[in-house]
């Protein structure tokens, strides 16, 4: 390993908004504690949880006072607001994301930081993710290796919880946008502004992140949140100067997803999981 990583001079600030995830939070935090790269701080913001999430987080913060910072919103303010609060406490040279129901593999930070140190032309690096649930692992999902300025025409260029970014990215963008349209699409808005500011990112084609399969999340994708995401698409396409007719595809996709029954989506995901586990 290169000397810059042996001495661990660069500090990583891990920002995590947590909400009603008491049952899964220990695995998530333990995966950070088990990282091979040790120069990190974990900043947790409880977003008004009504279960034992805050109590679980507090036990960890009490056990690791030099590594874990815990803050709390009095009411539920959504993820963008919570992550901005985390950023206020961040002292690291790099910012990493993590969700309270997922798992980072032990070498995630080491490999991502090594990549950014070796490739100064990139400001951010993500990675592939592998889905899992109580029955085991299923499929691996990949983001485009080198998404460019036009990547947002079709898809999110990065999986939000997998990213490691230079702090200058969040400083330059002023953090996340906190408005109604970014509820559940705060990352989508971030990527539009990321490319508009001239930043560049890359994705490692290795699954360094395990994402928990949450079928309940499908039901949280309401018409309101889908409409908000579409308004962000309108905002972003205009910001990046995309041709106006490009908006036709996301408009059709939004309309289609809004009318497809939740049960049909759940059945499709179950079929995908069975297929992945049979390979």
pLDDT digits (tens, 9 = 90+) for 143-161: 999 999 999 999 999 999 9
Please give the Cα distance from 47 to 23 (Å, whole number): 16
What pLDDT is recorded for position 1? Answer: 45
- pLDDT above 80 for 273: no
The predicted pLDDT at position 8 comes to 75
**Per-residue pLDDT band at 275 (split at 50, 70, 90):** low
Q: What is the pLDDT of residue 253?
A: 87
Q: pLDDT confidence of 225, banded at 50, 70, 90?
A: confident
As a whole number, the mean pLDDT across the chain is 91
What single string gives the DSSP state of each residue in the chain?
Answer: --HHHHTT-S-EEEEEEE-S-TTTHHHHHHHHHT-S---EEEEEEEES-SSSHHHHHHHHHHH-TTTEEEEEESS---HHHHHHHHHHH--SSEEEE--TT-EE-TTHHHHHHHHHHH-TT-SEEEEEEEEEETTEEEEEE---SS--TTGGGTS-SS-GGG-EEEHHHHHHHTS---SGGGTTTHHHHHHHHHHHTT--EEEEEEEEEEEE--HHHHHH--HHHHHHHHHHHHHHHHHHT--GGGGHHHHHHHHHHHHS-HHHHHHHHHHHHHHHHH-
pLDDT above 70: percentage of residues in the chain = 87
Confidence of residue 122 (pLDDT cuts 50, 70, 90): very high
pLDDT of residue 6: 44
pLDDT band (50, 70, 90) for residue 3: very low
Q: Give the residue, 8 or 67, on which the prediction is more confident.
A: 67
Q: Residue 255 has what pLDDT?
A: 83
pLDDT band at 9 (very low <50, low <70, confident <90, very high): confident
CA–CA separation, 78 and 83 (whole Å) = 9
pLDDT class of 214 with cuts at 50, 70, 90: confident
- pLDDT of amino acid 219: 58
Q: For residue 15, is pLDDT > 90?
A: yes
State mean pLDDT over 198-224: 85
Range with lowest mean pLDDT among 54-63, 168-177, 238-247, 254-263: 254-263
């Amino acid at each position: 390993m290169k000397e810059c990583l042996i001495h661990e001079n660069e500090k990583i600030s891990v920002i995590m908004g947590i909400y009603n995830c008491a049952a899964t939070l220990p695995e998530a935090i333990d995966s950070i504690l088990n990282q091979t790269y040790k120069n990190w701080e974990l900043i947790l913001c409880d977003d008004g949880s009504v279960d034992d999430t805050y109590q679980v987080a507090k036990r960890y913060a009490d056990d690791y006072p030099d590594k874990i910072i815990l803050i709390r919103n009095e009411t539920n303010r959504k993820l963008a607001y919570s992550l901005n609060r985390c950023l206020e406490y961040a002292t690291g040279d790099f910012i990493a994301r993590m969700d309270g129901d997922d798992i980072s593999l032990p070498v995630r930070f080491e490999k991502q930081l090594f990549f950014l140190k070796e490739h100064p032309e990139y400001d951010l690096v993500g990675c592939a993710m592998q889905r899992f649930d109580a029955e085991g692992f299923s499929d691996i999902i990949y983001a485009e290796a080198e998404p460019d300025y036009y990547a947002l025409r079709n898809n999110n260029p990065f999986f939000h919880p997998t990213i490691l970014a230079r702090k200058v990215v969040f400083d330059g963008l002023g953090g996340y946008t906190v408005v109604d349209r970014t509820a559940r699409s705060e990352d989508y808005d971030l990527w539009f502004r990321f490319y508009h500011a001239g930043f560049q990112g890359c994705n490692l084609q290795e699954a360094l992140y395990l994402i928990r399969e949450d079928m309940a999340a499908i039901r949280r994708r309401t018409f309101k949140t889908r409409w908000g995401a579409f308004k962000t698409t309108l905002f972003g396409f205009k910001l990046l100067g995309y041709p106006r007719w490009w908006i036709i595809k996301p408009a059709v996709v939004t309309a289609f997803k809004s009318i497809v029954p939740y049960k049909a989506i759940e059945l499709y995901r179950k079929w995908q999981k069975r297929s992945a586990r049979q390979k």
